[in-house]
Amino acid sequence: MSLQQPAVFCNMVGDWPALHWNAKYLSAVLDGKTIQFRLGLKTVDLVPQFETRCSYVEATLEEFLAWSCGQPPCLSGPFSCYEYSKYWAYADYKYIARIFEDKPEIFQDIRWSDFGFPGRSGKESTLWIGSEGANTPCHLDSYGCNLVLQVQGRKRWHLFPPGDTSFLYPTRIPYEESSVFSKVNVAKPDLKRFPEFRNTTAHVVMLSPGQVLLVPRHWWHYVESIDPITVSINSWIELDSDHEARVEEAITRMLVCAIKSAENPGDGDVWLNPTEVEATSHEINLQYLNKAVSAYFKCPKASVPEQACSSSTGAEQKTSTSCKRKKREVGCEPEGCRLLTQECGFSTFKAEKLQKIPFGPHLIQVLPQSQETSSMGTVAVESDRRDLLHENEEGHFGKSHRTGKRQVMSNDCETPAHQMDPDGSPNASQTALSTNDLLDCLVNPRVISLVARLLLERTRV
């Protein structure tokens, strides 16, 4: 828990039965049970492929495997309308406790207790099954930190530190509790719209089967499946800081729901993520807020934060509970793993108690890309039973993007002459603000952090 940067654990899970959870094995275990797949286009454009832009089908893993193997459409059932060469499919955020509720013995195949969390198993874990190209838009998780086991295939992780938050243009639209999305498609960034993205520092790692990645609190991540079939298992670990994050999330929910619900429904703005069943009412959101504040003061050592920090590396890091995103599914208790009903979680270690981190052949530090790396360089971590190989692969990010770009950045920010009024000011049509523009400011992580601190201070008094 003392790690404050991404790291890959090797040779930790060799005796876990879960290492046999490839897609074919899981298909046999599920025995015809259908699960939801999210489908997106393999073509990459300048706009992130949020879940609101994807299609969804209910299918068995057997049908998924047939489709991913290129069998004729008539044999791939629900996927028959989606050509494999053009689409990827992702069964993501599948809570193991739900999809294997009739097989609880399988929970013990996952042993997070080996990482120092006694009793934590598959019951507190999530399953991910995807095809080549399947990806998760760049986002940070408000709650906890993340341990990810790669079981089948490889995934490339693009990670950005909390201090890069302002460079990633955070947004809460589409709204999903505990997920702060980036407006930038980091796979193909629109540097004219988002010039500050050049200032990010990417940490890129290729996660291979048998490796476990730690994603520390508030690290941004964009994840893509590299091989034809990928299977991953993760668990979000609770932190003491989650109690303040619950207050921040309740404030955000109240503001987003109130403002977006007041818009004309005919505008067609799909602002609620598919994972959120409905826009909760103001009364319910106020109840959530009061419960979050009450829970904050009931937890041991809870105290009002001393002073809000205005720096991007301080205030922006102050947003984090045990369930990262509550993917609500049919038949599940809506409040089942809601942020407001969590008990106090695992404690973070005090800084004065930290010891030197034993990085080495079994714990690999995911380093930022160096300026010496080519502008398309990424760091890959590969391992076998004896050796760990560090390779360079083609990527997109790194400090090298900053070199020689200042003049370009200033030009990008200039308003073209044809968009100017005669008096030299930008055309009104070019500067019209939307509700989402306002929300991006109102629920910016820095603003919400300050509001939460003021609210907690007022409540304590």
Q: Are residues 38 and 131 in the same domain?
A: yes
**234 and 253 housed in the same domain:** no
Domain assignment of residue 53, yes or no = yes
User: Residue 31: how many CB atoms within 10 A of its CB?
Assistant: 10
* Beta pairing class for 7-9 and 212-215: antiparallel
Residues 205 and 341 in one domain: no
Last residue of a domain, one of 339, 370, 394: 394
Cβ neighbours, 10 Å, residue 9: 18
Residues 35 and 158 in one domain: yes
Contacts of residue 161, defined as CB under 8 A and 6 or more positions apart, other chains included, come to: 5, 201, 203, 219, 220
Please give the tally of structural domains in the chain. Answer: 2
List residues bridging with 95 in a β-sheet: 126
What are 360's strand-pairing partners? Answer: 363
Task: Note whether residue 111 is domain-resident.
Answer: yes
Residue 197 placed within a domain: yes
- Would you say residue 445 lies in a domain? yes
pLDDT at 323: 52
From residue 413, alpha-carbon distances to 167, 201, 215, 420, 438 in Å are 15, 21, 33, 14, 20
CA distance to 102, 107, 237, 413, 430, per residue, from 424 (Å): 68, 65, 53, 15, 13
Residue 405 domain flag:
no
* Tokens 């069964």 found at: 91
Mapped onto helix, strand or coil, the DSSP state of residue 90 is: strand
Are 310 and 377 in a shared domain?
A: no
Rounded Cα gap, residues 54 and 50, in angstroms: 7
Q: Is residue 226 part of a domain?
A: yes
In terms of domains, do 292 and 374 share one? no
Q: Which residue has the tokens 């193991």?
A: 96
Say yes or no: 255 and 124 in one domain. Answer: no
Which residue in 92, 184, 87 sits closest to 138, CA to CA? Answer: 184
Same domain, 63 and 101: yes
Q: What does the DSSP assignment read for 391-408?
A: EEEE-S-SGGGGTT-HHH
Which residues are within 8 A (CB) of 458 and not within 5 positions of it... i.e. 6 or more apart? none
CATH of the domain at 183: 2.60.120.650
Tell me which residue of 40, 127, 45, 132 sits closest to 91, measured CA to CA. 127
pLDDT tens for the chain, 461 residues: list them: 888 899 999 999 999 999 999 999 999 999 999 999 999 999 999 999 999 999 999 999 999 999 998 777 666 689 999 999 999 999 999 999 999 999 999 999 999 999 999 999 999 999 999 999 999 999 999 999 999 999 999 999 999 999 999 999 999 999 999 999 999 999 999 999 999 999 999 999 999 999 999 999 999 999 999 999 999 999 999 999 999 999 999 999 999 999 999 998 777 789 999 989 889 999 999 999 999 999 999 987 655 554 433 333 333 333 333 455 554 443 343 333 334 434 444 444 444 445 688 899 999 999 997 633 433 334 454 443 333 333 333 333 333 333 333 333 333 444 444 444 545 455 555 568 999 999 999 999 999 999 999 999 998 76
Residue 65 parent element (H or E): helix 61-68
The residue out of 340, 368, 394 marking a domain boundary is 394
Six token digits for residue 441: 């400011």
Report the pLDDT value the prediction gives residue 71, as an integer from 0 to 100. Answer: 72
Q: How far apart are CA 363 and CA 381, in angstroms?
A: 11
258: containing domain: 242-348+433-460
In this structure, the answer to whether residues 344 and 373 fall within a common structural domain is no
Establish if 415 belongs to a structural domain: no
At residue 143, the 3 state secondary structure works out as coil
Give pLDDT, residue 269: 80
Determine the Cα–Cα distance for residues 300 and 287; give it in Å rounded to an integer.
Answer: 22
For residue 228, whether the previous peptide bond is cis, meaning omega lies within 30 degrees of 0, is: no
Q: Quick one: 444 and 387 in the same domain?
A: no
On whether the CB atoms of residues 75 and 114 are closer than 8 A, the answer is no
- CB distance 61 to 76 below 8 Å: no
Q: Does 14 share its domain with 109?
A: yes
The answer to whether residue 408 sits within a structural domain is: no
Pairing relationship of beta strands 126-131 and 145-152 according to DSSP bridges: unpaired
pLDDT for residue 304: 56
Q: Give the C-alpha separation, 64 to 453, whole Å.
A: 47
Q: Answer for the pair 152, 207: CB distance below 8 angstroms, yes or no.
A: no
Same domain, yes or no: 160 and 249: no
